[in-house]
């Protein structure tokens, strides 16, 4: 089967099976650019089903690039609350400002230009080029990677590198409906060529898939380098008020309220009898000791917050998880 027939089969499947996603609505070209920009930032490290309600709410409150560039940071953080990784929101606003300043409010037209914008790397630039600007590019996300690994039955370490997989993207060919085509391939990965129990009977390219013929669907992945770090969080409470500080320790929570904490050695964590909490991030496994202190430390940028008022300010999920446990600490 040639590439043209493959693209036709994939697009036919997509036209009949695609999900309704709010950023796929038929809108003007300018609005599509904005919808794609916002959704791609939200989808970085967050699943589609989680993003949907946040995207709908966000677009209602900040409907275009101009309003995004002008929104107050505190307001922006409030609209982003619950999605986590707040640096994405800050970068999204910085990108909007730069687009208005340097590109007259429209997305730049090359991946190189897009990658100069805050928060946009190789994948996001390619996704924006394909989806928003209808360029003949197939972004290599996890879904597309999985399809290629199964179609070509890739098993060796050198075969699962991004460089190798990028050289295999030619399998899909191209389509004049580049935006739909890129989304169609990703949609097949999400709905059909799933990590577990792929639905080969519903797959438009199953006849081209070596894994399907072999009935072997294991997908090899590269080991992600996740580090484990140990911390001690100091819990000060007085008159039902808890001490928080504006974070300057973790870039992903910049200026967000957190409990005061410092890094400790593994053995201190291991042998501590205090209550503990484990927080998993995309690149770090944080193991935290929760220790109550009696004296208010002399710390800059401190906040004293009542437990009952935790919903009145924006708190990262990181801090909320600790708040759930602090009342149990003696």
Taking alpha carbons only, the member of 185, 136, 210 closest to residue 11 is 185
Q: How far apart are CA 50 and CA 120, in angstroms?
A: 21
Q: Which of 40, 145, 187, 232 is catalytic?
A: 40
Cα dist. 198→52, 169, 195, 230 in Å?
A: 24, 20, 7, 39
Taking alpha carbons only, the member of 128, 83, 130 closest to residue 252 is 83
Q: How far apart are CA 45 and CA 141, in angstroms?
A: 11
DSSP states of 167-184: TTGGGG---S-HHHHHHH
* Paired residues of 264 in beta bridges: 230
- Please tell me whether residue 21 adopts helix, strand or coil conformation: coil
Active site residue 112: no
Catalytic residues: 40
């Amino acid at each position: 089967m040639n590439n043209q027939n493959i693209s036709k089969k994939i697009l036919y499947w997509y036209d009949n099976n695609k999900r309704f996603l709010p950023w796929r609505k038929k809108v003007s070209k300018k609005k599509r650019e904005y919808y794609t920009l916002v959704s791609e930032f939200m989808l970085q490290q967050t699943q589609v089903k989680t993003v949907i309600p946040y995207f709908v709410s966000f677009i209602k409150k900040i409907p275009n690039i101009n309003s995004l560039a002008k929104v107050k940071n505190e307001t922006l953080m409030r609209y982003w609350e619950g999605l986590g990784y707040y640096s994405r929101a800050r970068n999204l606003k910085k990108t909007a400002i730069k687009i208005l300043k340097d590109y007259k409010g429209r997305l730049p037209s090359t991946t190189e230009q897009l990658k100069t914008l805050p928060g946009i790397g190789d994948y996001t630039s390619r996704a924006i080029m394909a989806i928003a600007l209808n360029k003949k590019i197939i972004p290599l996300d996890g879904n597309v990677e999985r399809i290629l690994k199964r179609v070509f039955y890739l098993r060796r370490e050198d075969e699962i590198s991004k460089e190798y997989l990028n050289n295999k993207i030619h399998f899909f060919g191209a389509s004049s409906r580049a935006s739909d085509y890129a989304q169609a391939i990703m949609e097949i990965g999400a709905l059909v060529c799933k990590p577990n129990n792929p639905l080969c009977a519903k797959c438009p390219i199953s006849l081209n898939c070596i894994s399907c013929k072999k009935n072997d669907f294991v997908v090899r992945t590269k080991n992600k380098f996740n580090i484990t770090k140990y911390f001690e969080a100091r819990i000060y409470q007085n008159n039902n008020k808890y001490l928080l500080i504006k974070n300057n320790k973790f870039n992903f929570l910049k200026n967000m309220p957190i409990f005061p904490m410092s890094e400790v050695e593994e053995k201190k964590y291991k042998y501590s009898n205090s209550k503990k909490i484990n927080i998993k991030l995309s690149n770090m496994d944080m193991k935290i000791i929760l220790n109550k202190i009696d004296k208010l430390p002399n710390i800059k940028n401190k906040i004293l917050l009542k437990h009952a008022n935790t919903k009145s300010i924006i708190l990262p999920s990181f801090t909320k998880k600790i708040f759930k446990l602090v009342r149990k600490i003696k």
